[in-house]
Chains A and B, each alone.
Chain A
Amino acid sequence: MALMRTMAALLLLVIAFGAAAGGIELREFDDPVMEKRYHDLTASMRCPLCENQAINDSDAPISADMRERVYQLLQDGQSDIEIINHMVQRFGEYILYNPRLESRTYLLWGLPIALVLLGAMVVVLMIRARRNASAKALSAEERQRIDALTNRKGSS
């Protein structure tokens, strides 16, 4: 019984100071637009410490600090871009889940779009080639049928 009580106390202790499970915290927003911005910003920033989690979902103390800072900056009236720059200045581009478009990410953003264009070209070229093939084959076939018919006519 005493053991249970100590374990229960341990439990509460760990939970109170340990895990603020997944960023569930109380934040007051007067403005639903700001609330959405907060949500979107914290969902797009990576916890620098965790194994691939956004700061809105992570237990780590640094994530809690980052969320707090985002909230403060929003209240201060800063724009999304300013807030993102503020964080990147301190933690690096690693924390951005949405990679910036810069010379080293041209390939990342550009390749899929290039592939769509390339794909469209491939489809067009392929179908063109196949249509012509089928047309040629048809006329060869037709010719054969004509020959067969005329031969038959001749023999009958």
Chain B
Amino acid sequence: MFIKMIPEIGHFALIIALLMAAVQAVMPLAGAATRRPLWMAYGQPMAVGQFVFIAIAYACLTASYMLDDFSVANVANNSNSLLPWYYKFSAVWGNHEGSVLLWSFMLAGWGCAASLFTGNLPRDMVARVMGVMGMVCVGFLLFILMTSNPFERLLPGMPQDGADLNPLLQDFGLVVHPPMLYMGYVGFSVVFAFAIAALMGGRLDAAWTRWARPWTNLAWAFLTVGIALGSWWAYYELGWGGWWFWDPVENASLLPWLTGTALVHSLAVTEKRGSFKSWTVLLAISTFSLSLMGTFLVRSGVLTSVHAFANDPARGFFILMLLAITVTLSLLVFALRAPRVSHKVGFNWLSRDALLLVNNIFLVIMTVTVLLGTVYPLILDSLGLGKISVGPPYFNTLFVPLTVLMCIFMGLGSVTRWKSMAARDLIRKLWLAGVAALVIGILMPLLYRGEWNLFVSLGIVSALWIVLPMVRDVFDKTRHASSFLAGVRKLSLAYWGMVLGHVGVAVTIVGVTVVSNYNIERNVRMSPGTTVEVAGYQFTMTELTERRGANFLADTSILQVQRGDSGSSFTMRPEKRLYLATGMPMTQVALRPGLFRDLYVAMGENLGDGSWAMRVQYKPFVRWLWLGALLMAFGGVLAVLDKRYRRTASTREAPKVASQDDSTQNSAREATA
């Protein structure tokens, strides 16, 4: 009896959560405006309570899936009794309604966490943060309850079985990609709320930046992982070996990442130097706005994409309203409350401040470029100027040069001192790195493939120019310690976070460069007994069989692969599957991953005479793409764990002077050396 009511309990829990969110939205803000501590104190308990009730709702939906309750429309449309349990669990977010519920769940989670870790922030600021977060939560909960209720029932005529999860989604990628991605999107709501609260309270001092940095870094790390997982999943799932298509939905995730990266750097400047205050606030608003915009683009049917959810203009309209109200109000608050006079903190041409300014400019240009390319077809269509497409050629043409240019400044920026640095010092520090980067970069294609390639060299030089200056910097900083290890331990986690973050970028660039230029692909006809050679590997088809899976039938080919004449030997089994419930055919790629190369085999079509068309690919360094992203994310997490964020209030002011700012310590050392 209780079990039969689970969807209703979930529905009811959502309504309670909405009420709590409404209180959270109104009371603390009113309290801050009228200086009533009691009202302001409503923020935290409401945030916690809201989280608890959304958690209950989410658990109810999950339970409905796990229990195969096909009286719930959402379960009937997206699940099936034959579905393996881990896919039932993930199918919750494999559709529009469930994924918005996941979004709200995480939003409430971040809000709850933010409410619990306020430390020594002034009470009215905390109240305003809670208020803003409450408002966003209200928006999403209203959206769910009014247009996308996952607890709709199909009674009395409930179906015997569900329509099954789309076969493309029946994959490990579904288990990890959306949760990570949403944690990133939603995580930026914290720094957004902070920025608005700071504007409202008229307090744009360094306190809020110090508080906001770990939250931002963490959200950024999640988003990085989420995007990387999406790319990786598309790579092995879609069967053509590509890892980024500049599809509108992919771009929708990249946009907040680009401004998020700018924000991470801008926060550093604001915290350490007190400058770029308004700019940092604007970036915080923009990043979360882009997250919201991404949600709109993906769910409204406005842009055409394989990845988009089933489209419904009514829902699109609601999200558009949500987006429009949130962003317009935020930008209005910014326009009206941003400080009028900003004390101009000075810095010189050659300084970390200047280089981070350049970094931000580049990232913003990249953001505008990607945004422009993504929405341009829509703009032209709205103006009646016809329907055009903007795809990979456009984005690659613009994005790649911008990245290369940015790398030049990245190499400099990570080792330049704040405020000012003599050109002489910088050159002395970097000339060797520069020469080494150029030499190795130019030689690399010659050594790897025997023929020079401009694009490869550009990529390798860029990547090395990011890494080698930092190597020199680590060397310089550990030079005077008793031992290398002692020196390493003295450097803060925040520093290592930066190093790893940048190294991650370099690794990704290497991956992109090598796989884009040295990918080998062959379409061949194979039948049992045929051998094909690709990049030194011999692929021999030994067998063509059929098998039955949990909810599909498959044609499997078994390939014996031999590396060279006497190298390693292994089996690969690409498949062509037919999913029973939907009748959808699908290619299951056979993948042999490796650190320095992937082997990628996909079955094409049955040529009828006992042979199949197969695509065999050799993809060098493709894993570096995602490993780089993991390194970046790991760097972000390290920065969050830095002990300065765990100091108590009494010691918190001290570090600003006797700084973790190793660059000033170093300059003293170098001056005397």
| Structural contact, B348 and A52, CB atoms closer than 8 A | no
Per a CB cutoff under 8 Å, which of A19, A23, A135 touches B585? A19
Q: Which residues of B contact A16 (CB under 8 A)?
A: 605-606, 608
Per a CB cutoff under 8 Å, which of B354, B603, B615 touches A123? B354
Residue A90, interface by CB 8 Å:
no
Determine the distance from Cα of A141 to Cα of B348 in the docked complex, in whole angstroms: 18
Q: Which residues of B contact A105 (CB under 8 A)?
A: 376, 388
Residue B136, interface by CB 8 Å:
no
Q: Which residues of B contact A24 (CB under 8 A)?
A: 523, 602-605, 613-615
Q: Which residues of B contact A20 (CB under 8 A)?
A: 604-605, 613
Residue A21, interface by CB 8 Å:
yes
Q: Which residues of A contact B606 (CB under 8 A)?
A: 12, 15-16
Please list 15 pairs of residues, one from A and one from B, whose beta carbons are closer than 8 Å in the complex, sorted by A's number: A11-B578, A15-B606, A19-B587, A21-B587, A21-B602, A44-B392, A46-B389, A51-B308, A94-B387, A99-B388, A104-B386, A105-B388, A123-B361, A131-B347, A133-B345
| Structural contact, B347 and A134, CB atoms closer than 8 A | yes
**Contacts of A114-149 to chain B: CB distance below 8 A:** 115-116, 119, 122-123, 126-127, 129-131, 133-135, 137
Residue A33, interface by CB 8 Å:
no
**Contacts of B325-375 to chain A: CB distance below 8 A:** 344-349, 353-354, 357-358, 361-362, 364-365, 368-369, 372-373
| Structural contact, A97 and B602, CB atoms closer than 8 A | no
Residue A34, interface by CB 8 Å:
no
Determine the distance from Cα of A120 to Cα of B485 in the docked complex, in whole angstroms: 42
Contact status of A112 and B604, CB under 8 A, knowing A21-B587, A51-B306: no
Q: Which residues of B contact A14 (CB under 8 A)?
A: 578, 583, 585
**Contacts of B469-528 to chain A: CB distance below 8 A:** 523-525
Residue B161, interface by CB 8 Å:
no
| Structural contact, A52 and B248, CB atoms closer than 8 A | yes
Q: What total of A-B pairs shows CB separation below 8 Å?
A: 180
| Structural contact, B346 and A134, CB atoms closer than 8 A | yes
Q: Which residues of B contact A43 (CB under 8 A)?
A: 392
**Contacts of B99-138 to chain A: CB distance below 8 A:** none
In this complex, how many residues of chain A approach chain B with their Cβ under 8 Å: the count is: 57
Per a CB cutoff under 8 Å, which of A10, A94, A122, A127 touches B388? A94
| Structural contact, A22 and B388, CB atoms closer than 8 A | no
Q: Which residues of B contact A152 (CB under 8 A)?
A: none
Determine the distance from Cα of A97 to Cα of B394 in the docked complex, in whole angstroms: 7
Q: Which residues of B contact A134 (CB under 8 A)?
A: 345-348, 419
| Structural contact, A27 and B389, CB atoms closer than 8 A | no
Per a CB cutoff under 8 Å, which of A19, A50, A129 touches B344? A129
Residue A8, interface by CB 8 Å:
yes
Q: Which residues of B contact A81 (CB under 8 A)?
A: none
| Structural contact, A99 and B389, CB atoms closer than 8 A | yes
Contact status of A27 and B523, CB under 8 A, knowing A22-B238, A93-B388: yes
Determine the distance from Cα of A131 to Cα of B349 in the docked complex, in whole angstroms: 8
Q: Could you give, for residues 35-78 of chain B, a 1 whenever the CB lies within 8 Å of some chain A CB and a 0 otherwise?
A: 00000000000000000000000000000000000000000000
Q: How far is the CB of A118 from chain B (nearest CB, A)?
A: 9
| Structural contact, B346 and A137, CB atoms closer than 8 A | yes
Per a CB cutoff under 8 Å, which of A27, A53, A108, A115 touches B365? A115
Determine the distance from Cα of A122 to Cα of B357 in the docked complex, in whole angstroms: 10
Q: Which residues of A contact B548 (CB under 8 A)?
A: 4
Determine the distance from Cα of A10 to Cα of B555 in the docked complex, in whole angstroms: 12
**Contacts of B380-395 to chain A: CB distance below 8 A:** 380, 385-394
Contact status of A26 and B392, CB under 8 A, knowing A11-B546, A15-B606, A112-B365: no
Residues of A with Cβ closer than 8 Å to B? 4, 7-8, 10-12, 14-16, 18-27, 43-44, 46, 50-54, 56-57, 92-99, 104-105, 107-108, 111-112, 115-116, 119, 122-123, 126-127, 129-131, 133-135, 137
Q: Which residues of A contact B583 (CB under 8 A)?
A: 14
A43, A52, A98, A116: most-surrounded residue (chain B CB, <10 A): A52
| Structural contact, A11 and B348, CB atoms closer than 8 A | no
Q: Which residues of A contact B453 (CB under 8 A)?
A: none
18 A-B pairs besides A15-B576, A19-B587, A115-B364 with CB distance below 8 A are A15-B555, A21-B239, A22-B615, A24-B603, A25-B604, A44-B392, A51-B304, A53-B306, A92-B387, A96-B388, A97-B391, A97-B394, A98-B397, A108-B376, A115-B369, A119-B364, A130-B353, A133-B345
Residue B408, interface by CB 8 Å:
no
Closest to A116 in B: B365
Q: Which residues of B contact A122 (CB under 8 A)?
A: 361
Determine the distance from Cα of A44 to Cα of B394 in the docked complex, in whole angstroms: 10
**Contacts of B590-604 to chain A: CB distance below 8 A:** 602-604
| Structural contact, A25 and B613, CB atoms closer than 8 A | yes
Determine the distance from Cα of A98 to Cα of B392 in the docked complex, in whole angstroms: 7
Q: Which residues of A contact B546 (CB under 8 A)?
A: 8, 11
Contact status of A26 and B525, CB under 8 A, knowing A16-B605, A92-B387, A97-B390: yes
Q: Which residues of A contact B390 (CB under 8 A)?
A: 97, 99, 108
Determine the distance from Cα of A85 to Cα of B485 in the docked complex, in whole angstroms: 64
Q: How far is the CB of A142 from chain B (nearest CB, A)?
A: 14
Closest to A111 in B: B372
Per a CB cutoff under 8 Å, which of B238, B368, B523 touches A112? B368
Contact status of A57 and B347, CB under 8 A, knowing A123-B358, A127-B357: no
Per a CB cutoff under 8 Å, which of B393, B587, B613 touches A98? B393
Q: Which residues of A contact B353 (CB under 8 A)?
A: 130
Determine the distance from Cα of A95 to Cα of B419 in the docked complex, in whole angstroms: 51
Q: Which residues of B contact A51 (CB under 8 A)?
A: 304-306, 308
| Structural contact, A21 and B391, CB atoms closer than 8 A | no
Q: How far is the CB of B432 from chain A (nearest CB, A)?
A: 27
Determine the distance from Cα of A119 to Cα of B362 in the docked complex, in whole angstroms: 8
| Structural contact, A52 and B576, CB atoms closer than 8 A | no
Q: Which residues of A contact B235 (CB under 8 A)?
A: none
| Structural contact, B605 and A127, CB atoms closer than 8 A | no
- In order of increasing CB-CB distance, the 8 nearest A-B pairs are A134-B346, A24-B604, A97-B391, A98-B393, A133-B344, A119-B361, A20-B605, A112-B369
Q: Which residues of A contact B578 (CB under 8 A)?
A: 7, 10-11, 14-15
Closest to B587 in A: A21
Determine the distance from Cα of A52 to Cα of B523 in the docked complex, in whole angstroms: 23
Q: Which residues of A contact B387 (CB under 8 A)?
A: 92-94
